[in-house]
Amino acid sequence: MTHFLELKSVSYSYQTMEAETLALKEISLQIEEGEFIAIVGPSGCGKSTLLNLICGLIQPDEGEILLKGKPMEEMAMNIGYMLQKDHLFEWRTIYSNVTLGLELQHKLDSNSRKRVDKMLKTYGLSEFAAARPSQLSGGMRQRAALIRTLAMEPELLLLDEPFSALDYQTRLSVCDDIYEILKKENKTAILVTHDLSEAISVGDRVVILGRRPAQIKNIITLSFDQDLTPIQRRNAKPFASYFNTIWKELQENECS
Ligand SMILES: Nc1ncnc2c1ncn2[C@@H]1O[C@H](COP(=O)(O)OP(=O)(O)OP(=O)(O)O)[C@@H](O)[C@H]1O
Ligand SMILES: [Mg+2]
């Protein structure tokens, strides 16, 4: 079977003048189209490294990464990457921030403008198109950053702790918003987070990584009775038991 994304026994080390740091060891993972995968693991275990490998910023030392069954070099997939910091430029308006990627790739035309206008409207930012980033709340800025990423029509979205700079309440509501946007756009997404509750509230599956060098400790498939928003999931019955299972796995990992 061909998977949307497949990692086959991927290992990666950082080389510095002083030392070699093995960050990831023999990671194998298959992800299907439309899936929302959450990745959790201890600080410094290699989560960001994993995303950097998936988007081709760095290459595995061993193993391979296949996109729709083909090696990355042969498969030009549009991958969106969203980080903890929103990287919005203060000297540009929100509109010219969200269209920046399109502009750089010479794809800013009437069609893409229409798409951006629609997203700004749907996601409540139309009125702020002419504003500067500093005039927006943290949550609005993250939404703008997401629109900028989605404007490029990525087939795969990588999210590296995108909510961690937000206060708790904003974080819950932005997570709800962003989840809804991604489901509506039927995107395949991989979210890295420190927050177990966040992972359980959005994921179809949660991948648990162990301490560095990171290996996959377990993959938990989440099943809720119906389609629930992240906030609704937090109040649903199976939530606490998933939390305990994943918490235990991470604790064992800390003590081993
Ligand atoms: N450029 C680099 N050069 C050398 N070592 C690095 C480099 N980047 C990361 N590392 C090391 O590789 C390991 C994995 O780093 P990575 O950033 O992927 O972890 P992480 O799980 O994303 O951490 P965090 O939870 O803090 O975001 C860490 O121990 C880190 O010290
Ligand atoms: Mg990281």
CA–CA dist 29, 37 (Å, integer): 11
CA–CA dist 14, 181 (Å, integer): 35
From 212, 213, 136, select the one nearest 174 (Cα to Cα).
Answer: 136
Q: For position 256, what pLDDT does the model report?
A: 47
Domains and CATH numbers, the chain: 5-255 (3.40.50.300)
Q: For position 185, what pLDDT does the model report?
A: 79
Cβ of 44 below 6 Å from ligand 1: yes
Measured N-to-C along each axis, helices 110-122 and 138-151 cross at an angle, to the nearest 10 degrees, of 150
Which residue's C-alpha comes closest to atom 15 of ligand 1? 46
The answer to whether the CB of 64 falls within 8 A of the CB of 251 is no
pTM of the predicted structure, to 2 decimals: 0.90
Contacts of residue 76, defined as CB under 8 A and 6 or more positions apart, other chains included, come to none
Over the stretch 28-79, which tens digit does the pLDDT of each residue have? 999 999 999 999 999 999 999 999 999 999 999 999 999 999 998 888 888 9
Residues of the chain with pLDDT under 50: 255-256
Cβ of 47 below 6 Å from ligand 1: yes
